[in-house]
Chain A
């Protein structure tokens, strides 16, 4: 049972490249924290710094209240699951799981008990004599997790553990990881670039961009109140539409159409308007936007309509509608959205602009 504290952690490579910039993060006991971001954002570097595989340039890393900056990975009491599993190819499943315990001079009976327990939990008990190459991808993945579990470490670290599996298995393993983590209650840090994986697994989600933390929060927080355009477009699939609009005294203007909105709290001028495809709906009476469908992707449950707005600005827009809607390419549709689903972002800072929804609803109800 342990907490992990990162204070002012930074990573600077000898060639001057700043991979992580002054990062602060508090990971509570038993929490599953997911680090997510596009490739090259520093998420893996950060994880490897926690593991001790990568040196920490400055700042302090604490596990519980012990400073572990200068400890070897083996001394930090952590366990890591690698993307390509990194199983020892010449050892049996049993020995793979027991190796870390043996190095820690755990008594033999204890090793046997722990390994068998973990194997049972992961349904590996009939495979203990196999070599890794005789296992399927999912089984190897489980052995890699077993190797982490038997050690009963303070912190689990997962480095994109599911990206080598096929789509179906990935979903299944995702659930298993979640269940397992709940059951063991071990503090975990999980790195992924897959936002669906991130959303489903995380207790706390950390979005990284170019070595900076963009936002920290629960998955729903990040979905409902993205702090920046980066988070807004990264979380959610298909990603949020960002349109260029304008704030006027009457409301939001997009091309030459107006969305009436109380704008007293906002600065007048241009602004980015974020609209999630799933929040847009087709509406016949007095819609906000006129769009023309240019391309349709049928996903079964949903249709994704790739549209262009029929106003002066001709902006691209994705709309998600029911999978059996009768819509063809070239159709012109009216599109509307509820006011609470409109996200506004500053043009310069790309940060979220707060506006008072409650005030709006009072006005419209009156």
Chain B
């Protein structure tokens, strides 16, 4: 649809500007807040930079264990979040690409049953089955461990389903050509299917990494030991000061730091995305 009227253009731009403001304003406030003394928040929310520069960040990182006098080391929490997100991402991708390979390229009894059972778990995200899952993890003695943090979140129907849809578009002749070229199932998977799935892997990596990074409810439930706190739940803990002043500038700085890894992943993978989209030919 091509509209050439200036009023319509104005309208489109207005909508876009509104969208940008609603998304960017909170981020802007968070960035601005890191440059103010904590006392500045008593009188309202500042909208322009204060005079502290990066000192809040440096203080936060050098004196890592002191936010609101709660002993939460930021670097430790970042590390926990990173390990959790990466384990979930890599685990998910590995398991789902292999199960999709089995479901699409092999004929075995119970193939469709297996597929539909995987598919049904789409309707049962962690939040729905949280009590039984917690019970299982407790019985397996996985509380306060990375196993408990990651394993229940690894099982995923979404990724399996997406890989299956992609594999179905791989031309059958390619499989046959590989068979004639003497490539067995594993060789075909490694030499041909994996390189072809590059784009999909990149896309799912971004999605699952952010999913893993943003986990809040499950880590909150499974960890009581401060050693295993993730950054997302850490931020919440910082707000829970019984008596004393909430250090908004430090909390905002922590939020900004917590935002960075997903942003980096998106930017890094975007290149692979675009390249994959341009290259995508089967």
Residues of A within 8 A of B (CB): 51-53, 72-75, 78-80, 82-84, 86-90, 99-100, 103-104, 132-133, 147
A80 partner, pick from B177, B191, B192, beta carbons under 8 A: B177
**B119 CB to nearest A CB, Å:** 26
- Nearest residue, chain B, Cβ from A84: B173
| Additional 4 contacts, C-beta under 8 A, given A84-B173, A86-B173, A89-B196 | A73-B179, A84-B171, A86-B171, A99-B183
The 23 listed contacts between A and B (C-beta, < 8 Å) are A51-B176, A53-B176, A53-B179, A73-B176, A74-B179, A74-B181, A74-B183, A75-B182, A80-B180, A82-B176, A84-B171, A86-B171, A86-B173, A86-B174, A86-B176, A87-B177, A88-B177, A90-B192, A90-B196, A90-B198, A100-B180, A103-B183, A147-B181
**B171 CB to nearest A CB, Å:** 7
- Nearest residue, chain A, Cβ from B182: A74
- Mask, B110-132, CB within 8 Å of A = 1, is 00000000000000000000000
Q: Which residues of B contact A74 (CB under 8 A)?
A: 179-184
- Nearest residue, chain B, Cβ from A48: B176
**A47 CB to nearest B CB, Å:** 11
Chain B positions 111-168 with a Cβ under 8 Å from a chain A Cβ:
none
Q: Which residues of B contact A99 (CB under 8 A)?
A: 178, 181, 183, 191
In the complex, which of the residues A87, A88, A100 has the most CB atoms of chain B within 10 Å of its own CB atom? Answer: A88
- Mask, B52-63, CB within 8 Å of A = 1, is 000000000000
Number of interface residues of B (CB under 8 A): 21
**B163 CB to nearest A CB, Å:** 17
Q: Which residues of B contact A87 (CB under 8 A)?
A: 177
**B272 CB to nearest A CB, Å:** 14
B240 interface residue per 8 A CB criterion: no
In the complex, which of the residues A82, A87, A132 has the most CB atoms of chain B within 10 Å of its own CB atom? Answer: A82
In the complex, which of the residues B171, B178, B180 has the most CB atoms of chain A within 10 Å of its own CB atom? Answer: B180
Tell me, in angstroms, the Cα distance from A132 to B173 when the chains sit together: 15
- Nearest residue, chain B, Cβ from A148: B180
Q: Which residues of B contact A80 (CB under 8 A)?
A: 176-177, 180
B109 interface residue per 8 A CB criterion: no
B181 partner, pick from A53, A83, A89, A100, beta carbons under 8 A: A100
**A95 CB to nearest B CB, Å:** 10
- Nearest residue, chain A, Cβ from B187: A103
A72 partner, pick from B171, B179, B192, beta carbons under 8 A: B179
Tell me, in angstroms, the Cα distance from A103 to B180 when the chains sit together: 10
Q: Which residues of B contact A147 (CB under 8 A)?
A: 177, 181
Tell me, in angstroms, the Cα distance from A73 to B279 when the chains sit together: 30
Tell me, in angstroms, the Cα distance from A75 to B281 when the chains sit together: 29
Tell me, in angstroms, the Cα distance from A53 to B191 when the chains sit together: 20
Tell me, in angstroms, the Cα distance from A88 to B170 when the chains sit together: 11
**A104 CB to nearest B CB, Å:** 6
Chain B positions 178-202 with a Cβ under 8 Å from a chain A Cβ:
178-184, 187, 191-192, 195-196, 198
Are A86 and B177 in contact, CB atoms less than 8 angstroms apart?
Answer: yes
In the complex, which of the residues A74, A78, A87 has the most CB atoms of chain B within 10 Å of its own CB atom? Answer: A74
Q: Which residues of B contact A75 (CB under 8 A)?
A: 182
Tell me, in angstroms, the Cα distance from A99 to B191 when the chains sit together: 9
- Nearest residue, chain A, Cβ from B196: A90
Chain B positions 217-237 with a Cβ under 8 Å from a chain A Cβ:
none
Q: Which residues of A contact B180 (CB under 8 A)?
A: 51-53, 73-74, 78-80, 100
Q: Which residues of A contact B196 (CB under 8 A)?
A: 89-90
B5 interface residue per 8 A CB criterion: no
Q: Which residues of B contact A79 (CB under 8 A)?
A: 180
Tell me, in angstroms, the Cα distance from A133 to B180 when the chains sit together: 22
A89 partner, pick from B179, B184, B281, beta carbons under 8 A: B281
B282 interface residue per 8 A CB criterion: yes
- Nearest residue, chain A, Cβ from B181: A100
Tell me, in angstroms, the Cα distance from A104 to B180 when the chains sit together: 11
- Nearest residue, chain B, Cβ from A103: B182
**B268 CB to nearest A CB, Å:** 21
Tell me, in angstroms, the Cα distance from A99 to B177 when the chains sit together: 10
Tell me, in angstroms, the Cα distance from A74 to B187 when the chains sit together: 13
- Nearest residue, chain A, Cβ from B198: A90
Tell me, in angstroms, the Cα distance from A53 to B176 when the chains sit together: 7
- Nearest residue, chain B, Cβ from A53: B176
- Nearest residue, chain B, Cβ from A83: B173
- Nearest residue, chain B, Cβ from A99: B181
Tell me, in angstroms, the Cα distance from A199 to B173 when the chains sit together: 27
- Nearest residue, chain A, Cβ from B177: A86
